[in-house]
Structure 1
Amino acid sequence: MRGRKPTPTSLKLLHGNPGHRPIRGDEPKPPASQPSCPAHLSPTAKAEWKRLAQSLNAIGLLTQADRAAFAAYCQAYGRWVEAERKLAETPVILKTPAGYVQASPWLAIANKQLELMAKFMAEIGLTPSARSRLSVQMPRGPKPWDYPHDPEGLIATPWEFD
C-alpha cells in the first residue's frame, strides 16, 4: 500500500477530524469491552496492563481488537524494566576477555525495548504529545475506576463538573 497509513475513524473523532474529510461509516468497530490480560506476559508486564487497561478502555482507546498491540507494549515495558534492573547491578561498560571495551548487552536491550515502547505509546495515546491530539469526552454517571481511598465518594472527579 502506498502513501500514509489511514487514520482510524475513532482517532479522527477523538482528534476532532482536523482535516474535515468525510467520516467513513463502514469502518469495523471492535467490541468496546475491556480485553483480558494475556497469561504469557511477565509479572511486570501484567502489572503494567493492570495499571493502564481499565483507564484506556474507559476512554475508548483500548478494545478487544487492541489486545495484541497493548500486550506488546506491556511486554516491552516488562523487558525494559528487567534490563534496567540488570544495568543497575552491572557496569555499563565491560571489558572482554581479549581486553576490548564494550557496552553491556543489557544497555542494548534496554534501549531497544524503550524504542519499541515509544512506538506503541504514540499509537495508544500514552505520551503527552499523543494525548494533546485527542479530545475525549469523559462519561457521566458511574466512574470508570474506583477510588479505594474515598469509600464515601466525597472526592469530586473532573467529569462531575461538566
Structure 2
Amino acid sequence: MKPGTKPKPTHLKLIEGNRGKRPLNRKEAAVPAALPAPPPHLTADALEEWNRVAHWLRRIGLLSEVDRAALAAYAQAYGRWVQAERAIAKMAEKDQLTGGLMIKTSNGNAIQNPLVGTANKAAADMMRYAAEFGMTPSARSRISAEATSEGADPADRFFS
C-alpha cells in the first residue's frame, strides 16, 4: 500500500469535481448498491444501530454487499460504546463524587475507571468508521450523494 492520503473514489471525483485534474481511474471496480444482512455476532445495541443506518446508507447509494464488514465494525463499536456508557452511568449512581469516572485500587489510590478508556476507544473507532460512510457532518460536507431509485441507471445522474 502506498503511503499518503487515501485516494478518492472516482464516483466522488465526478460528483465533487476533479480539482487536481488528474486522470480518472476508468478501471475502478463498480459495486452495486445493496442492503447486506447483518452478521449474527452483533450485540443487541449494535444490531439496533445497524438497522437504523443501513437502510439510509443503501438509499443514498453508499452501501453494498462488500461493505458488510465495515458497517458491522461500525455498529459493533457503537454497541460497545453504548454498553460502556451504560455501565459508567450505573456506577455514577453510587459514586456522586466522581460520577463513576474514577475507581479506587486495592491500595486505595484513585485511577481512571477502565470503562472510560473502553468507552473512549469505542467512540473513536465508531467515529472513524462513521466517517468512511459519510455519517459525520464534516464527511458529508465532502460528498454529494443522491438517493438511488430501484432499477435506475446510476450513470443517468451524471449524463442526463
Q: TM-score, normalised by structure 1?
A: 0.80
Instruction: Kindly report which structure 2 residues correspond to 1:27-106, keeping only aligned pairs within 5 A, or say none.
Output: 27-90=28-91, 91-106=100-115
Query: In 2, are the aligned partners of 1:83 and 1:107 still within 8 Å (CA)?
Result: yes
**Deviation by residue 1:124-143 (Cα, 9 ceiling, x = unmatched):** 1000111111112234689x
Q: More deviation in 5-14 or 48-57?
A: 5-14
Query: Against the structure 1 CA distance between its residues 132 and 26, is the aligned structure 2 distance closer, same or farther, given a 3 Å change threshold?
Result: same
The Cα RMSD (Å) is: 1.9
Q: Which consecutive segments of 4 or more residues in structure 1 shift more than 4 A?
A: 139-142
Q: What's the % identity of the aligned pairs?
A: 47
For residues 13 and 35 of structure 1, what CA distance do their matches in structure 2 show? 26
Aligned length: 142
2:130 is equivalent to residue 121 of structure 1: yes
Residue identity in the other structure for 2:123: L
Q: Which residue of 2 aligns with 1:112?
A: 121
Query: In 1, are the aligned partners of 2:105 and 2:111 still within 8 Å (CA)?
Result: yes
Residue identity in the other structure for 1:109: T
For residues 14 and 47 of structure 1, what CA distance do their matches in structure 2 show? 31
What SS does the corresponding residue of 1:60 show, helix, strand or coil? coil
Q: Which residue of 2 aligns with 1:3?
A: 4
Query: Against the structure 1 CA distance between its residues 12 and 49, is the aligned structure 2 distance closer, same or farther, given a 3 Å change threshold?
Result: same
Report deviation, 1:65: 1.3
**Deviation by residue 1:56-108 (Cα, 9 ceiling, x = unmatched):** 01111111111111110000000000000000011211111111110111100
Q: TM-score, normalised by structure 2?
A: 0.81
Residue identity in the other structure for 2:42: L
**Deviation by residue 1:109-162 (Cα, 9 ceiling, x = unmatched):** 0000011011111111000111111112234689xxxxxxxxxxxxxxxxxxxx
**Structure 1 unaligned regions, length at least 5:** 143-162
Query: In 1, are the aligned partners of 2:61 and 2:146 still within 8 Å (CA)?
Result: no
Q: Which residue of 2 aligns with 1:160?
A: none
